[in-house]
């Protein structure tokens, strides 16, 4: 891990903690397991102001390219749950992949529990799409 622990912007951290608290009753075991792991990782996360955030850290609205162990590459945008749109590759932070990516940075590798089992993914690209202040943090 490039920065030693997750890096989160202060407002995004507060929002993420809020949605994790109310989503504690996920409908399937795999999703609940991912959210519990993310909740644990948040305990040691570095919380920064928006102007201190490195550009290569995955945050809300980041477009991220990941490479799976089998060589498959996928590009997604990590969004708040109300903005998810699978057809346009916008995944909620509450999905297994979204929760695996948030707070990690370019060139990090993450071992995460997915529905098909534990898998290592490598973050090969992170692009910031828009400012936090333009995100509607409603649940």
Angle at which helices 29-42 and 10-22 cross, to 10°: 140
Report the alpha-carbon distance of residue 39 to residue 31 in Å, rounded: 12
What is the CATH class of 7-130?
A: alpha beta
pTM (predicted TM-score):
0.88
User: CB neighbours of 115 closer than 8 A, spacing ≥ 6?
Assistant: 30, 96
* Residue 132: pLDDT over 60: no
* Residue 139: pLDDT over 90: no
Question: Burial of 10 by CB count in 10 Å (0-12 exposed, 13-18 middle, 19+ buried)?
Answer: middle
Domain boundaries, given as residue ranges, for the chain: 7-130
* Residue 138: pLDDT over 70: no
Which of the 8 DSSP states describes residue 130?
Answer: S
Rounded average pLDDT over 16-27: 75
In the chain, % of residues over pLDDT 90: 65
Residue-wise pLDDT tens digits, 34-64 = 888 888 999 999 999 999 999 999 999 999 9
Q: How far is the CA of 14 from the CAs of 8, 89, 128, in angstroms?
A: 9, 25, 20
* Residue 17: pLDDT over 50: yes
Averaged confidence pLDDT in the chain: 88
Report the alpha-carbon distance of residue 94 to residue 26 in Å, rounded: 9
List the beta bridge partners of residue 122. 67, 109
* Residue 131: pLDDT over 60: no
pLDDT given at position 24: 59
Q: Which residue has the tokens 């996920």?
A: 26
Report the alpha-carbon distance of residue 10 to residue 14 in Å, rounded: 6
In the chain, % of residues over pLDDT 70: 88
pLDDT given at position 117: 84
């Amino acid at each position: 891990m490039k920065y030693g622990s997750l890096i989160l912007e202060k407002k995004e951290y507060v929002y993420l903690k809020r949605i994790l608290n109310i989503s504690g009753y996920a409908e399937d075991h795999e999703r609940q397991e991912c959210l519990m792991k993310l909740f644990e990782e948040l305990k040691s996360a570095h919380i920064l102001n928006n102007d201190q955030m490195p550009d290569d850290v995955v945050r809300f609205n980041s477009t991220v390219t990941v490479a799976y162990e089998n060589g498959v590459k996928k590009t997604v945008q990590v969004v708040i749950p109300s903005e998810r749109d699978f057809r346009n590759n916008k995944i909620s932070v509450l999905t297994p992949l979204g929760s695996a990516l948030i707070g990690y940075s370019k060139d990090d590798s993450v071992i995460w529990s997915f529905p098909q089992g534990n898998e290592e993914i490598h973050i090969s690209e992170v692009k910031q799409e828009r400012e936090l202040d333009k995100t509607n943090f409603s649940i």
